[in-house]
Amino acid sequence: MSGGDARVRSFAPVADAGARVLVLGSMPGEASLAATRYYAHPQNRFWPIMGALVGATPALPYEQRLQRLLDAGIALWDVLASCERVGSLDTAIRAPQANDFAGFFVAHPRVATVLFNGAQAETSFRRLVLPGLAGPAPLLRRLPSTSPANAGQRPEVKLAAWREALSDAGIALTPA
């Protein structure tokens, strides 16, 4: 890929009728896009955190991890449907296009909480999505990014923040 021609597209949402919490990233990184899996980079802390909280451990096959999230009432998606980006950093995102959240929330009316996996996801959602949503917005909460680019924050701090947010949203957690 070169320069401005590097348009990348995100994945379909992982969600079912039982979804009560939606976890949003900004846009999958290169490792995730290559693997066509959410949070595929081996240093990303998302799956270790979800393993500790709802049993979606990285040791499980990917489809089983997704099922554990769904069983817990957690949906996954990204704010952006597509963007121009070279590399994986959120700071490299250009020409973003948001996913269809109006349609998502109509199809998943039980989602009452949106958890942002990092600042860029929240910023993009508030700028590109929130102004166009009708009706009451779900509770919006930014969490520390699980990305390897956020390596400066200790894993136990990230885990505690995610534990608190999921607990506050009524998700049944695996005992610590």
Nearest to 29 by CA among 90, 73, 115, 81: 90
Identify the CATH homologous superfamily for domain 3-168: Uracil-DNA glycosylase-like domain (3.40.470.10)
Residues identified as active-site: 44
d(CA 120, CA 113): 17
Task: Express each pLDDT in 91-105 by its tens digit.
Answer: 778 889 999 999 999
d(CA 8, CA 10): 7
Q: Is the pLDDT of residue 1 over 70?
A: no
Task: Express each pLDDT in 120-148 by its tens digit.
Answer: 999 999 999 999 998 888 999 999 999 88
Domain ranges of the chain: 3-168
Q: Is the pLDDT of residue 63 over 80?
A: yes
pTM for this structure?
Answer: 0.93
